[in-house]
């Protein structure tokens, strides 16, 4: 489930009909959703247990039934949102698309996700300093998803002449590009759309490359 600007409605089922495991999962989800909003609005430094539990509608004591401490929740927050993002993008970049079209659809979907979950930007940008374990876990998860896509494209003949080691480098280039482009074009209140020039530039880069190969002739 994509976490967004509003907390999900409570389950329509009566509490007494939920199993203990279901009640625990519902409460845990509400804490994650509340933490998303609180960190998105106030930042990690001001994301207190009191603020999170108040927004989630649970007692502070309940928080510690699910997390050992505040930092444990913060370390899990970005990876959880990142997995939502990966699933969101995967749903919009169908496996039957040609590889280039699939990557472009994923690129568009990334900005759509940022629009739907505006808190993501701040949570990501501050995580390196306030939740470094979560930050690294998020990078690893996204990189793994990218590499899986690239290896599939290579097996289908859509990518040639790239090794696994080169994929590792390219993945971080792509992740960096999306991160900086989202700061440039999808920050603040106007995150609904990205300029067409950004989309076409990305499309040209991934399908044509940037520089024309040098036409060098060896001297005899």
pLDDT (tens digit, 0 to 9) for every residue of the chain, 220 residues total?
A: 445 444 444 444 454 577 888 888 999 999 999 999 999 999 999 999 999 999 999 999 999 999 999 999 999 999 999 999 999 999 999 878 888 899 999 999 999 999 999 999 999 999 999 999 999 999 999 999 999 999 999 999 999 889 999 999 999 999 999 989 988 887 655 545 788 899 999 999 998 888 887 776 555 4
220 lies in some domain: no
- CATH number (domain holding residue 173): 1.10.357.10
Q: What is the DSSP letter of 6?
A: S
Please count the structural domains in the chain.
Answer: 1
Q: Residue 192's pLDDT is what?
A: 53
Whether residue 101 is contained in a domain is answered as yes
Domain that holds residue 183: 70-208
The answer to the question of residue 167 being in a domain is yes
Number of CB atoms found within 10 A of residue 153's CB: 19
| pLDDT of res. 212 | 82
Q: What is the pLDDT of residue 186?
A: 73
Q: How far apart are CA 112 and CA 155, in angstroms?
A: 29
| Residue 51, in any domain of the structure | no
pLDDT of residue 188: 57
pLDDT at 95: 79
156 contacts 99 by C-beta, under 8 angstroms: yes
In a domain, 141, yes or no: yes
| Domain presence at residue 107 | yes
Residue 94 lies in a domain: yes
Q: What is the pLDDT of residue 135?
A: 97
**Nearest 5°: phi and psi at 161?**
65, 30
Which residues have C-beta within 8 Å of that of residue 44, sequence separation ≥ 6?
Answer: 74, 126, 127, 129, 130, 131
Distance CA(92)–CA(110), nearest Å, equals 10
Tell me whether residue 214 is in a domain: no
CA distance 197 to 2: 28
Measure the CA–CA gap between 21 and 130, rounded to whole angstroms.
Answer: 30
Please give the pLDDT value at position 22. 87
Round to whole Å and give the CA distance between 135 and 74.
10
């Amino acid at each position: 489930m994509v976490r967004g600007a509003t907390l999900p409605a409570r389950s329509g089922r009566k509490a007494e009909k939920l199993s203990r495991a279901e009640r625990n999962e519902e409460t845990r989800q509400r804490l994650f959703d509340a933490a998303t909003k609180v960190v998105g609005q106030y930042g990690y430094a001001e994301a207190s247990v009191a603020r999170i539990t108040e927004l989630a509608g649970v007692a502070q004591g309940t928080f510690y039934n699910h997390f050992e401490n505040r930092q444990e929740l913060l370390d899990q927050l970005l990876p959880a949102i990142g997995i939502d993002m990966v699933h969101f993008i995967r749903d919009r970049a169908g496996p039957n698309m040609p590889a280039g079209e699939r990557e472009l659809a994923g690129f568009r979907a990334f900005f759509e996700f940022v629009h739907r979950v505006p808190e993501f930007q701040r949570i990501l940008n501050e995580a390196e300093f306030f939740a470094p374990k979560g930050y690294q876990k998020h990078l690893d998860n996204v990189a793994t998803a990218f590499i899986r896509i690239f290896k599939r494209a290579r097996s289908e003949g859509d990518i040639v002449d790239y090794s696994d080691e080169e994929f590792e480098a390219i993945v971080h280039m792509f992740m960096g590009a999306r991160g900086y482009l989202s700061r440039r074009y999808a920050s603040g209140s106007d995150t609904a759309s990205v300029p067409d020039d950004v989309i076409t530039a990305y499309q040209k880069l991934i399908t044509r490359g940037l520089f024309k190969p040098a036409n060098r002739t060896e001297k005899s």
